[in-house]
C-alpha cells in the first residue's frame, strides 16, 4: 500500500469517530441553528451514492471547507453551512456560496438548460433585478440546488482558533483537500453518475471534489495528527 493510500485510510478512520456521536453525519437539511455546532471548525460533506472504492460502503468525502480565514472575520461554522444549505423554504443564494454555484452549474449541464444570469456578479446584476422571468428562473434553480446539497450528510470538527489564513482550520482544510485530490489522481474516484463529472470546471472533474482551491497541492501528512486531536476534542464536547 502506498503512502497516500495509508494516509487516506487513516483520514477516513479518524473521521469515522465522528459518526459515533449520534449528532453528526445527518443530512444537512436536518440541522438548524439550534444544532450543536461549535463557533468555528472544518466541515466535510458526503454525497448520496458516493462511496470509497476500497470497500464500496464508506461514504466518500466530496467537499471540505472552513470559514473565518480572513483576519477579524465574524463568520461561524453554522453560518457557512446555512449559506450552502439555503433557506428552510428551499431558497438560497449561489452568490453567497461557491459550493451552491458549482452544484448549480453542473445541474444546468445535466438538464441541458441555460440560465444566463447564473454565476454573474457577486450580487444580483442589473439584468436580473430588472427581469422577473430571470428572477423566477434563478429562484427555481436555487431550490434544486438546496434539495441536492440538503440531501448530503455533513461531519465537522471543533477548532476554536482565531480567524487567519494561517489558522489550524486552514491547515487542516487545505491538506485534507490535497490528500483527497491526490494531485488529480484520486485514490477514491467518483462514481460514473457523480454530478461533478458534468461541472464546467476542470478542477472539479479532475479532483472528484466540489473544491477548486488546494486540489493541485501536495499534502503534509502531519495534518492527520492535528485532525485526530480535533476529532477527540469535538467528541469530548458532544459527550
Asked whether the beta carbons of 177 and 211 are under 8 A apart, the reply is yes
* Domain coverage including residue 212: 3-234
239: in domain: no
25: in domain: yes
- CA 91/CA 143 separation, integer angstroms: 5
Residue listed under C-alpha cell 430588472:
130
pLDDT at 166: 87
Asked whether the beta carbons of 50 and 62 are under 8 A apart, the reply is yes
7: in domain: yes
Mean pLDDT per block of 10 residues along the chain (239 residues) reads 90 92 90 87 97 93 91 87 92 96 98 96 91 95 98 96 89 98 95 98 98 97 97 80
pLDDT at 176: 98
Residue 192: exposed, middle, or buried by beta-carbon count in 10 A (0-12, 13-18, 19+)?
exposed
Report the domain count for the chain.
1
96: in domain: yes
38: in domain: yes
How many helices, marked H, and strands, marked E, lie in the chain?
8, 3
pLDDT at 5: 95
Q: What is the pTM of this model?
A: 0.94
58: in domain: yes
For residue 146, give the C-alpha cell. 438546496
Amino acid at each position: 500500500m502506498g503512502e497516500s493510500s495509508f494516509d487516506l485510510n487513516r483520514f477516513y478512520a479518524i473521521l469515522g469517530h465522528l459518526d459515533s456521536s449520534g449528532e453528526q453525519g445527518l443530512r444537512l437539511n436536518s440541522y438548524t441553528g439550534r444544532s450543536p455546532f461549535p463557533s468555528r471548525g472544518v466541515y466535510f460533506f458526503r454525497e448520496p451514492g458516493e462511496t470509497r472504492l476500497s470497500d464500496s460502503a464508506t461514504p466518500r468525502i466530496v467537499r471540505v471547507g472552513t470559514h473565518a480565514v480572513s483576519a477579524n472575520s465574524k463568520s461561524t461554522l453554522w453560518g457557512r453551512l446555512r449559506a450552502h444549505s439555503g433557506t428552510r423554504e428551499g431558497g438560497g443564494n449561489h452568490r453567497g456560496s461557491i459550493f451552491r454555484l458549482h452544484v448549480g452549474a453542473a445541474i444546468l449541464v445535466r438538464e441541458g438548460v441555460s440560465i444566463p444570469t447564473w454565476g454573474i456578479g457577486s450580487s444580483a446584476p442589473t439584468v436580473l433585478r430588472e427581469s422577473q422571468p430571470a428572477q423566477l428562473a434563478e429562484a427555481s434553480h436555487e431550490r434544486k440546488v438546496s434539495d441536492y446539497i440538503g440531501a448530503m450528510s455533513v461531519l465537522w470538527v471543533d477548532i476554536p482558533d482565531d480567524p487567519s489564513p494561517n489558522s489550524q482550520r486552514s491547515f487542516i482544510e487545505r491538506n485534507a483537500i490535497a490528500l483527497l485530490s491526490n494531485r488529480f489522481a484520486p485514490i477514491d474516484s467518483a462514481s460514473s453518475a457523480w454530478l461533478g463529472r458534468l461541472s464546467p470546471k476542470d478542477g472539479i472533474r479532475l479532483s472528484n471534489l466540489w473544491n477548486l482551491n488546494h486540489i493541485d497541492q501536495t499534502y503534509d501528512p502531519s495534518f492527520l495528527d492535528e485532525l485526530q486531536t480535533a476529532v477527540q476534542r469535538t467528541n469530548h464536547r458532544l459527550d
